[in-house]
Structure 1
Amino acid sequence: MSRDETNTRPTVLAVFLILAGIIGEIAAFALTVEKIHTLSSPGESLSCDFSVLVQCGANLESWQGSVFGFPNPLLGLAGWAAPIAVGISILAGARFARWYWALFNLGLAGALAFVIWLISQSIFVLGTLCPWCMVTWSVTIPAFLAVTLYNLKAGNLPAPAGVRRAAGALYGWLVPLTLACYLIVAVIAQVRLDVLQHL
Protein backbone atom coordinates (compact mmCIF):
# COMPACT_ATOMS: atom_id res chain seq x y z
CA MET A 1 0.00 0.00 0.00
CA SER A 2 1.39 3.39 -0.96
CA ARG A 3 1.91 6.25 1.47
CA ASP A 4 -1.00 8.15 -0.12
CA GLU A 5 -3.36 5.21 0.39
CA THR A 6 -2.26 4.91 4.01
CA ASN A 7 -2.79 8.62 4.60
CA THR A 8 -6.30 8.53 3.18
CA ARG A 9 -7.42 5.62 5.34
CA PRO A 10 -10.10 7.03 7.71
CA THR A 11 -8.45 5.83 10.92
CA VAL A 12 -10.15 8.41 13.15
CA LEU A 13 -13.53 7.35 11.76
CA ALA A 14 -12.57 3.71 12.30
CA VAL A 15 -11.68 4.27 15.97
CA PHE A 16 -14.88 6.25 16.48
CA LEU A 17 -17.00 3.49 14.92
CA ILE A 18 -15.40 0.92 17.20
CA LEU A 19 -16.02 3.05 20.30
CA ALA A 20 -19.57 3.91 19.26
CA GLY A 21 -20.27 0.26 18.55
CA ILE A 22 -18.95 -0.83 21.94
CA ILE A 23 -21.01 1.82 23.75
CA GLY A 24 -24.07 0.82 21.73
CA GLU A 25 -23.51 -2.85 22.54
CA ILE A 26 -23.22 -2.06 26.26
CA ALA A 27 -26.50 -0.12 26.19
CA ALA A 28 -28.27 -2.85 24.19
CA PHE A 29 -26.97 -5.55 26.53
CA ALA A 30 -28.07 -3.59 29.61
CA LEU A 31 -31.55 -3.10 28.15
CA THR A 32 -31.74 -6.80 27.24
CA VAL A 33 -30.88 -7.75 30.81
CA GLU A 34 -33.53 -5.35 32.11
CA LYS A 35 -36.10 -6.81 29.70
CA ILE A 36 -35.31 -10.32 30.95
CA HIS A 37 -35.76 -9.01 34.49
CA THR A 38 -39.24 -7.67 33.64
CA LEU A 39 -40.19 -11.11 32.30
CA SER A 40 -38.75 -13.10 35.21
CA SER A 41 -39.87 -10.71 37.95
CA PRO A 42 -43.01 -8.85 36.81
CA GLY A 43 -43.85 -5.76 38.83
CA GLU A 44 -40.37 -5.28 40.29
CA SER A 45 -38.64 -1.98 39.62
CA LEU A 46 -35.62 -2.03 37.34
CA SER A 47 -32.14 -0.77 38.12
CA CYS A 48 -32.59 1.89 35.41
CA ASP A 49 -35.83 3.20 36.93
CA PHE A 50 -34.82 6.35 38.79
CA SER A 51 -38.10 8.26 38.79
CA VAL A 52 -41.42 8.50 37.00
CA LEU A 53 -39.64 10.56 34.33
CA VAL A 54 -36.25 8.85 34.12
CA GLN A 55 -36.84 5.14 33.70
CA CYS A 56 -36.65 2.34 31.18
CA GLY A 57 -39.40 0.08 32.52
CA ALA A 58 -42.22 1.93 30.79
CA ASN A 59 -40.32 1.90 27.51
CA LEU A 60 -39.44 -1.79 27.66
CA GLU A 61 -42.98 -2.86 28.57
CA SER A 62 -44.70 -0.72 25.94
CA TRP A 63 -45.56 -1.90 22.44
CA GLN A 64 -42.99 0.61 21.19
CA GLY A 65 -40.35 -1.44 23.00
CA SER A 66 -41.07 -4.46 20.77
CA VAL A 67 -42.06 -2.92 17.46
CA PHE A 68 -41.04 -5.90 15.36
CA GLY A 69 -42.42 -8.55 17.69
CA PHE A 70 -39.28 -8.92 19.79
CA PRO A 71 -37.52 -6.55 22.23
CA ASN A 72 -35.84 -3.61 20.48
CA PRO A 73 -32.54 -4.13 22.36
CA LEU A 74 -31.98 -7.29 20.33
CA LEU A 75 -31.73 -5.05 17.26
CA GLY A 76 -28.98 -3.15 19.02
CA LEU A 77 -27.09 -6.29 20.00
CA ALA A 78 -27.02 -7.37 16.36
CA GLY A 79 -26.76 -3.95 14.74
CA TRP A 80 -23.89 -2.45 16.73
CA ALA A 81 -21.65 -5.31 15.64
CA ALA A 82 -21.54 -3.73 12.15
CA PRO A 83 -19.77 -0.47 13.11
CA ILE A 84 -17.31 -2.44 15.23
CA ALA A 85 -16.56 -4.79 12.33
CA VAL A 86 -16.20 -1.93 9.84
CA GLY A 87 -13.91 0.01 12.18
CA ILE A 88 -11.67 -2.96 12.90
CA SER A 89 -11.53 -3.84 9.21
CA ILE A 90 -10.43 -0.31 8.31
CA LEU A 91 -7.67 -0.41 10.93
CA ALA A 92 -6.59 -3.78 9.54
CA GLY A 93 -6.16 -2.21 6.11
CA ALA A 94 -9.45 -3.07 4.41
CA ARG A 95 -10.63 -0.83 1.59
CA PHE A 96 -14.35 -1.04 0.86
CA ALA A 97 -16.13 -0.60 -2.45
CA ARG A 98 -18.55 2.30 -2.84
CA TRP A 99 -21.56 -0.01 -2.74
CA TYR A 100 -20.37 -1.35 0.62
CA TRP A 101 -20.10 2.15 2.09
CA ALA A 102 -23.51 3.02 0.62
CA LEU A 103 -25.14 -0.04 2.21
CA PHE A 104 -23.45 0.68 5.54
CA ASN A 105 -24.69 4.28 5.32
CA LEU A 106 -28.19 3.04 4.51
CA GLY A 107 -28.13 0.84 7.60
CA LEU A 108 -27.11 3.80 9.76
CA ALA A 109 -29.83 5.93 8.15
CA GLY A 110 -32.36 3.26 9.10
CA ALA A 111 -30.98 3.21 12.64
CA LEU A 112 -31.23 7.00 12.87
CA ALA A 113 -34.80 7.00 11.55
CA PHE A 114 -35.75 4.37 14.13
CA VAL A 115 -34.04 6.34 16.90
CA ILE A 116 -35.84 9.55 15.90
CA TRP A 117 -39.14 7.66 16.05
CA LEU A 118 -38.23 6.18 19.46
CA ILE A 119 -37.27 9.64 20.76
CA SER A 120 -40.64 11.01 19.66
CA GLN A 121 -42.50 8.09 21.24
CA SER A 122 -40.53 8.37 24.45
CA ILE A 123 -41.04 12.12 24.85
CA PHE A 124 -44.50 12.66 23.37
CA VAL A 125 -46.30 9.37 24.06
CA LEU A 126 -44.67 7.57 27.00
CA GLY A 127 -43.48 10.71 28.78
CA THR A 128 -40.24 9.12 29.92
CA LEU A 129 -36.52 9.38 29.35
CA CYS A 130 -34.97 5.91 29.28
CA PRO A 131 -31.30 6.14 30.42
CA TRP A 132 -29.93 3.27 28.33
CA CYS A 133 -32.09 4.35 25.38
CA MET A 134 -30.51 7.80 25.58
CA VAL A 135 -27.06 6.21 25.47
CA THR A 136 -28.11 4.49 22.25
CA TRP A 137 -29.44 7.78 20.85
CA SER A 138 -26.19 9.53 21.78
CA VAL A 139 -24.04 7.21 19.66
CA THR A 140 -26.45 6.62 16.76
CA ILE A 141 -26.65 10.33 15.90
CA PRO A 142 -22.89 10.98 15.53
CA ALA A 143 -22.31 7.59 13.87
CA PHE A 144 -24.78 8.50 11.13
CA LEU A 145 -23.39 12.02 10.75
CA ALA A 146 -19.76 10.84 10.64
CA VAL A 147 -20.31 8.10 8.08
CA THR A 148 -22.61 10.20 5.88
CA LEU A 149 -20.27 13.19 5.80
CA TYR A 150 -17.28 10.92 5.17
CA ASN A 151 -19.06 9.12 2.34
CA LEU A 152 -20.11 12.38 0.71
CA LYS A 153 -16.67 13.95 0.88
CA ALA A 154 -14.94 10.74 -0.25
CA GLY A 155 -17.30 10.32 -3.18
CA ASN A 156 -18.78 7.05 -1.95
CA LEU A 157 -22.24 8.57 -2.28
CA PRO A 158 -23.18 10.30 -5.53
CA ALA A 159 -23.29 14.06 -5.00
CA PRO A 160 -22.29 17.25 -6.85
CA ALA A 161 -18.83 18.66 -6.22
CA GLY A 162 -20.27 21.48 -4.10
CA VAL A 163 -22.01 19.02 -1.79
CA ARG A 164 -18.79 17.02 -1.47
CA ARG A 165 -16.85 20.16 -0.52
CA ALA A 166 -19.53 21.16 2.00
CA ALA A 167 -19.48 17.66 3.51
CA GLY A 168 -15.69 17.85 3.78
CA ALA A 169 -15.94 21.14 5.63
CA LEU A 170 -18.71 19.90 7.93
CA TYR A 171 -16.78 16.70 8.66
CA GLY A 172 -14.40 18.77 10.76
CA TRP A 173 -17.37 20.14 12.69
CA LEU A 174 -18.76 16.75 13.68
CA VAL A 175 -18.59 17.40 17.43
CA PRO A 176 -20.47 20.75 17.30
CA LEU A 177 -23.03 19.22 14.91
CA THR A 178 -23.58 16.33 17.29
CA LEU A 179 -23.89 18.66 20.27
CA ALA A 180 -26.42 20.73 18.34
CA CYS A 181 -28.51 17.59 17.76
CA TYR A 182 -28.29 16.72 21.47
CA LEU A 183 -29.39 20.26 22.33
CA ILE A 184 -32.42 19.99 20.03
CA VAL A 185 -33.51 16.75 21.74
CA ALA A 186 -32.87 18.27 25.19
CA VAL A 187 -34.93 21.37 24.40
CA ILE A 188 -37.82 19.27 23.06
CA ALA A 189 -37.70 17.08 26.18
CA GLN A 190 -37.61 20.12 28.44
CA VAL A 191 -40.52 21.83 26.70
CA ARG A 192 -42.63 18.69 26.66
CA LEU A 193 -41.68 17.03 29.97
CA ASP A 194 -40.25 19.89 32.07
CA VAL A 195 -37.22 17.77 32.86
CA LEU A 196 -35.48 20.35 35.05
CA GLN A 197 -38.48 20.52 37.37
CA HIS A 198 -38.31 16.76 37.94
CA LEU A 199 -34.58 16.55 38.69
Structure 2
Amino acid sequence: MSESVTPRRPVVVAIWLIFAGVVGWIAAFSLTMERFHQLQNPGAAASCDFSVLVQCSTNLQSAQGSVFGFPNPIIGLGAWIAPIVVGMALLAGARFAKWFWALFWLGFAGALTFVIWLIAQSIFVLATLCPWCMVTWSVVIPSFFVVTLHVLREGVVPGARVREVADRLMVWVPLMTLAAYVVVAVLAQARLDVLAQF
Protein backbone atom coordinates (compact mmCIF):
# COMPACT_ATOMS: atom_id res chain seq x y z
CA MET A 1 0.00 0.00 0.00
CA SER A 2 1.55 3.31 -1.10
CA GLU A 3 2.05 6.07 1.45
CA SER A 4 0.01 9.21 0.80
CA VAL A 5 1.89 12.43 0.19
CA THR A 6 1.17 15.21 2.66
CA PRO A 7 0.26 18.37 0.72
CA ARG A 8 2.32 21.49 1.25
CA ARG A 9 0.97 23.94 3.78
CA PRO A 10 0.07 27.15 1.88
CA VAL A 11 1.94 29.47 4.23
CA VAL A 12 2.19 32.39 1.78
CA VAL A 13 -1.53 32.19 1.00
CA ALA A 14 -2.33 32.03 4.70
CA ILE A 15 -0.17 35.04 5.56
CA TRP A 16 -1.68 37.04 2.70
CA LEU A 17 -5.23 36.22 3.79
CA ILE A 18 -4.46 37.38 7.33
CA PHE A 19 -2.77 40.55 6.10
CA ALA A 20 -5.57 41.38 3.63
CA GLY A 21 -8.22 40.62 6.23
CA VAL A 22 -6.62 42.92 8.80
CA VAL A 23 -6.10 45.76 6.31
CA GLY A 24 -9.60 45.38 4.90
CA TRP A 25 -11.13 45.27 8.38
CA ILE A 26 -9.25 48.43 9.45
CA ALA A 27 -10.53 50.22 6.34
CA ALA A 28 -14.10 49.06 7.02
CA PHE A 29 -13.87 50.06 10.68
CA SER A 30 -12.47 53.49 9.80
CA LEU A 31 -15.24 54.14 7.28
CA THR A 32 -17.89 52.94 9.73
CA MET A 33 -16.59 55.30 12.40
CA GLU A 34 -16.55 58.17 9.88
CA ARG A 35 -20.17 57.44 9.02
CA PHE A 36 -21.17 57.39 12.69
CA HIS A 37 -19.37 60.71 13.14
CA GLN A 38 -21.30 62.22 10.25
CA LEU A 39 -24.62 60.98 11.62
CA GLN A 40 -23.85 62.50 15.01
CA ASN A 41 -22.52 65.71 13.49
CA PRO A 42 -24.48 66.56 10.32
CA GLY A 43 -22.45 68.60 7.90
CA ALA A 44 -19.13 67.73 9.54
CA ALA A 45 -16.28 66.77 7.24
CA ALA A 46 -14.71 63.36 7.55
CA SER A 47 -11.08 63.09 8.62
CA CYS A 48 -10.34 61.47 5.25
CA ASP A 49 -11.67 64.47 3.30
CA PHE A 50 -8.55 65.97 1.74
CA SER A 51 -10.02 67.73 -1.29
CA VAL A 52 -13.04 67.81 -3.57
CA LEU A 53 -11.53 64.85 -5.40
CA VAL A 54 -10.00 62.83 -2.56
CA GLN A 55 -12.61 62.41 0.17
CA CYS A 56 -14.86 59.94 1.96
CA SER A 57 -17.93 62.05 2.71
CA THR A 58 -19.47 62.03 -0.75
CA ASN A 59 -19.14 58.26 -1.03
CA LEU A 60 -20.46 57.56 2.48
CA GLN A 61 -23.47 59.84 2.08
CA SER A 62 -24.40 58.64 -1.40
CA ALA A 63 -26.95 55.97 -2.29
CA GLN A 64 -24.01 53.88 -3.51
CA GLY A 65 -22.57 54.01 0.01
CA SER A 66 -25.59 52.19 1.44
CA VAL A 67 -26.58 49.77 -1.30
CA PHE A 68 -28.38 47.36 1.02
CA GLY A 69 -29.98 49.97 3.26
CA PHE A 70 -27.07 50.30 5.69
CA PRO A 71 -23.52 51.64 5.25
CA ASN A 72 -21.42 49.38 3.02
CA PRO A 73 -18.48 49.30 5.49
CA ILE A 74 -20.60 47.25 7.88
CA ILE A 75 -20.41 44.45 5.31
CA GLY A 76 -16.64 44.66 5.51
CA LEU A 77 -16.63 44.51 9.31
CA GLY A 78 -18.18 41.07 9.08
CA ALA A 79 -16.75 39.79 5.82
CA TRP A 80 -13.07 40.54 6.46
CA ILE A 81 -13.10 38.27 9.51
CA ALA A 82 -13.41 35.25 7.19
CA PRO A 83 -9.99 35.50 5.47
CA ILE A 84 -8.33 36.17 8.84
CA VAL A 85 -9.87 33.03 10.32
CA VAL A 86 -9.11 30.92 7.24
CA GLY A 87 -5.53 32.20 7.12
CA MET A 88 -4.96 31.41 10.80
CA ALA A 89 -6.49 27.96 10.32
CA LEU A 90 -4.18 27.25 7.36
CA LEU A 91 -1.15 28.28 9.42
CA ALA A 92 -2.32 25.87 12.12
CA GLY A 93 -2.41 23.06 9.58
CA ALA A 94 -6.12 22.94 8.80
CA ARG A 95 -7.26 21.36 5.55
CA PHE A 96 -10.57 22.31 3.97
CA ALA A 97 -12.87 20.36 1.68
CA LYS A 98 -13.23 21.37 -1.96
CA TRP A 99 -16.78 22.62 -1.37
CA PHE A 100 -15.44 24.98 1.31
CA TRP A 101 -12.87 26.44 -1.09
CA ALA A 102 -15.57 26.81 -3.74
CA LEU A 103 -17.76 28.81 -1.32
CA PHE A 104 -14.78 30.84 -0.13
CA TRP A 105 -13.97 31.69 -3.74
CA LEU A 106 -17.60 32.70 -4.36
CA GLY A 107 -17.29 35.13 -1.48
CA PHE A 108 -14.27 36.81 -3.05
CA ALA A 109 -15.86 36.73 -6.50
CA GLY A 110 -18.81 38.59 -5.01
CA ALA A 111 -16.46 41.02 -3.26
CA LEU A 112 -14.57 41.72 -6.50
CA THR A 113 -17.81 42.24 -8.43
CA PHE A 114 -19.02 44.69 -5.78
CA VAL A 115 -15.67 46.50 -5.76
CA ILE A 116 -15.63 46.83 -9.55
CA TRP A 117 -19.11 48.36 -9.39
CA LEU A 118 -18.05 50.72 -6.60
CA ILE A 119 -14.93 51.75 -8.54
CA ALA A 120 -17.09 52.56 -11.55
CA GLN A 121 -19.57 54.51 -9.40
CA SER A 122 -16.80 56.40 -7.64
CA ILE A 123 -14.98 57.40 -10.83
CA PHE A 124 -17.81 57.89 -13.31
CA VAL A 125 -20.76 58.93 -11.12
CA LEU A 126 -19.56 60.43 -7.84
CA ALA A 127 -16.29 61.80 -9.28
CA THR A 128 -14.40 61.16 -6.06
CA LEU A 129 -11.63 58.91 -4.80
CA CYS A 130 -12.34 57.74 -1.26
CA PRO A 131 -9.04 56.92 0.52
CA TRP A 132 -10.35 54.11 2.72
CA CYS A 133 -12.40 52.75 -0.18
CA MET A 134 -9.23 52.58 -2.24
CA VAL A 135 -7.52 50.67 0.56
CA THR A 136 -10.35 48.14 0.33
CA TRP A 137 -10.00 47.93 -3.44
CA SER A 138 -6.26 47.43 -3.10
CA VAL A 139 -6.65 44.27 -1.01
CA VAL A 140 -9.76 42.79 -2.63
CA ILE A 141 -8.16 42.68 -6.09
CA PRO A 142 -5.02 40.66 -5.24
CA SER A 143 -6.98 38.53 -2.75
CA PHE A 144 -9.31 37.45 -5.56
CA PHE A 145 -6.33 36.42 -7.68
CA VAL A 146 -4.69 34.55 -4.79
CA VAL A 147 -7.86 32.72 -3.75
CA THR A 148 -8.79 31.85 -7.35
CA LEU A 149 -5.40 30.29 -8.08
CA HIS A 150 -5.25 28.53 -4.72
CA VAL A 151 -8.72 27.07 -5.22
CA LEU A 152 -7.61 25.75 -8.61
CA ARG A 153 -4.47 24.29 -7.01
CA GLU A 154 -6.69 22.56 -4.48
CA GLY A 155 -8.42 20.70 -7.31
CA VAL A 156 -11.86 22.30 -7.09
CA VAL A 157 -11.76 22.21 -10.89
CA PRO A 158 -10.65 18.68 -11.81
CA GLY A 159 -7.50 18.10 -13.80
CA ALA A 160 -3.79 17.86 -13.06
CA ARG A 161 -3.08 20.39 -15.82
CA VAL A 162 -5.37 22.97 -14.17
CA ARG A 163 -3.55 22.54 -10.86
CA GLU A 164 -0.18 22.82 -12.56
CA VAL A 165 -1.06 26.01 -14.45
CA ALA A 166 -2.57 27.60 -11.33
CA ASP A 167 0.56 26.78 -9.35
CA ARG A 168 2.76 28.39 -11.98
CA LEU A 169 0.57 31.47 -12.24
CA MET A 170 0.68 32.14 -8.49
CA VAL A 171 4.05 33.90 -8.81
CA TRP A 172 2.45 36.29 -11.30
CA VAL A 173 -0.14 37.60 -8.83
CA PRO A 174 1.89 40.77 -8.07
CA LEU A 175 2.09 41.59 -11.79
CA MET A 176 -1.60 40.84 -12.34
CA THR A 177 -2.41 43.05 -9.36
CA LEU A 178 -0.23 45.87 -10.68
CA ALA A 179 -1.95 45.62 -14.06
CA ALA A 180 -5.35 45.91 -12.38
CA TYR A 181 -4.17 48.94 -10.38
CA VAL A 182 -2.92 50.57 -13.58
CA VAL A 183 -6.31 50.06 -15.25
CA VAL A 184 -8.06 51.77 -12.31
CA ALA A 185 -5.49 54.59 -12.29
CA VAL A 186 -5.84 55.18 -16.03
CA LEU A 187 -9.64 55.28 -15.77
CA ALA A 188 -9.42 57.72 -12.86
CA GLN A 189 -6.97 59.93 -14.71
CA ALA A 190 -9.00 59.89 -17.92
CA ARG A 191 -12.26 60.72 -16.15
CA LEU A 192 -11.13 62.93 -13.25
CA ASP A 193 -7.76 64.31 -14.40
CA VAL A 194 -6.26 63.35 -11.06
CA LEU A 195 -2.76 64.66 -11.80
CA ALA A 196 -4.09 68.17 -12.38
CA GLN A 197 -5.39 68.25 -8.80
CA PHE A 198 -1.90 68.10 -7.31
- In 2, the alpha carbon distance for the partners of 1:94 and 1:161 equals 23
Q: Provide the rounded CA distance (Å) in 1 between the counterparts of 2:165 and 2:12.
A: 19
TM-score, normalization: structure 2? 0.95
Is 1:190 aligned to 2:197, yes or no?
A: no
1:38-67 Cα distance to aligned partner (Å, 9 max, x none): 100011111000000000100000000000
> Aligned residue for 2:23?
23
User: For residue 192 of structure 2, what is the amino acid of its counterpart?
Assistant: L
Counterpart of 2:105 in structure 1 is 105
| Alpha-carbon distance in structure 2 between the residues aligned to 1:117 and 1:161 | 34
| Partner residue in 1 for 2:53 | 53
Gaps of 5+ in 1: none
Distance 2:114 2:54 in 1: 21
Distance of 1:159 and 1:186 partners within structure 2: 36
Counting only pairs closer than 5 Å after superposition, residues 128-139 of structure 1 correspond to structure 2 as 128-139=128-139
RMSD: 1.5
Measure, in 1, the Cα distance between the counterparts of 2:130 and 2:158: 37
Query: 1:158 offset after TM fit, Å?
Result: 1.4
What residue in structure 1 maps to residue 177 of structure 2? 178
Distance in 2, matches of 1:147 and 1:74, equals 23
Q: Secondary structure at the match of 2:52?
A: coil
Q: Residues of 1 paired with 2:129 and 2:165: CA distance?
A: 34
TM-score (norm 1): 0.94
Q: Is 1:167–2:175 an aligned residue pair?
A: no
Q: Which residue is 1:123 aligned to?
A: 123
1:158 is aligned to: 157
Aligned length: 196
Q: CA deviation at 1:4?
A: 4.9
Displacement of 1:165 in angstroms is 3.0
**Deviation of residue 163 (structure 1)?**
3.7
Measured after TM superposition, the shift of residue 140 of structure 1 is: 0.4
Say whether the 8 Å CA contact 2:153–2:163 is kept in structure 1.
yes
Question: Which one-letter code corresponds to 2:39 in the other structure?
Answer: L
Q: 1:198 to 1:159 in 2, by over 3 A?
A: farther
Aligned mates of 1:173, 1:139 — CA distance in 2: 16
Structure 1 residues 8 and 43, CA gap change in structure 2 (3 angstroms): same
Shift of 1:181: 0.6
Q: Letter of the 2:27 partner, please give it.
A: A
Deviates more, 1:109-118 or 1:161-170: 161-170
Task: Work out whether residues 146 and 173 of structure 2, in 8 Å CA contact, stay in contact via their aligned partners in 1.
Answer: yes
